[in-house]
Structure 1
Amino acid sequence: HRQIEAVRYLDGVVEELFDLVPKNTYITITSDHGELFGEDGYFGHGPIQHDKVMEVFFVEGKLR
C-alpha cells in the first residue's frame, strides 16, 4: 500500500515539474537501482545480486 501511495505522490510531483519547465525542455527520469518486493523471498536492494535489483526504470520524452 505504501508503494502505491508513493507512486501517486510522485505522479503529482512530476506533473508539477512538467508545468514549471520551459517549452522544448527534455526531461529524463531514472534510478540508480531496482528494488525487491518479495521476489525469491528478498526485500530491499542489497547486498544481493538479483535481476530485479539491476532493473531500473527510464522515462524520457519531450514535454511540449
Structure 2
Amino acid sequence: MALKAVAMNQTGDVGVLAHVDQPDPLPAPGMVPVHIAFAGVNFMDIGASGHGIDRNAQSEDPGR
C-alpha cells in the first residue's frame, strides 16, 4: 500500500501543495513501523511555504 503525502517542493501559497504517493518507508534495524491514520499540517509548515519564514532559523534564546 502506498503512503499518501502532501508535498511542498517550492515556496508559494497553498497551490504549491500537492498530493503524492510515496513508497511505504522501511524501518531501520531496531525500529518498528507505526501506522498513522490521520495527520495535519502544522501552522509553521504553512508559514514556511511562502511567507518568508526561515525553516532553519535558530531561537534567539539558547534555552528554547
Bigger relative contact order, structure 1 or 2, given CA contacts below 8 A and separation 6+?
A: 1
Q: TM-score normalised by the shorter chain: which range applies?
A: under 0.3
Structure 2 length as normaliser, TM-score?
Answer: 0.23
Give the helix-richer structure, 1 or 2: 1
